[in-house]
Amino acid sequence: MALERGKLSNVVTVGGGSTVAIVTVASSKKVYVKSVMVHNTGGASGLTSATGQVYFVPNGVSAGTTATRLFDVDVNPGETVLIEPSYPLVLDTTGDALYVGNSLSTNGALNFIVTGDKES
């Protein structure tokens, strides 16, 4: 089994109140998620912290529910947070996906990037 190492996504900007797929398994090629970086782009004073979410969503299941949420992390304006599980998250079925979300309803966006390996 050969692995492609490195980033699994480009930087994805998620606006307030949104949830988006950031990594999806294609052709039953396993994906090993090693870390998720979250940055709150709101550097100006007056903006509040946002809560970023990470969801592990099996094929055919709805994203954005507490049943699929793995992480909730508060991110202050201008701050970057690294989420690094002690063992990689493994997505192994076609259609399985990693979603990310931003709970902030106004004035701000969170940038996400996912690193890890995938079968080539």
Query: For position 57, which CATH number holds?
Result: 2.60.120
Confirm whether 6 is domain-assigned.
no
Q: How far is it, in rounded angstroms, from Cα 66 to Cα 55?
A: 9
From the number of C-beta atoms within 10 Å of its C-beta (0-12, 13-18, 19+), residue 103 rates as middle
Categorize the per-residue pLDDT at 80 as very low, low, confident or very high, splitting at 50, 70 and 90.
Answer: very high
Confirm whether 38 is domain-assigned.
yes
- Is this model's pTM higher than 0.75 or not? yes
Question: What is the tally of structural domains in the chain?
Answer: 1
pLDDT of residue 106: 63
Confirm whether 36 is domain-assigned.
yes
Q: How far is it, in rounded angstroms, from Cα 23 to Cα 61?
A: 15
Q: How far is it, in rounded angstroms, from Cα 87 to Cα 78?
A: 28
17: nearest Cα among 42, 44, 51: 51
Residue 66 sits in which domain range? 12-119
Up-side HSE of residue 54: CA atoms within 13 Å toward CB?
22
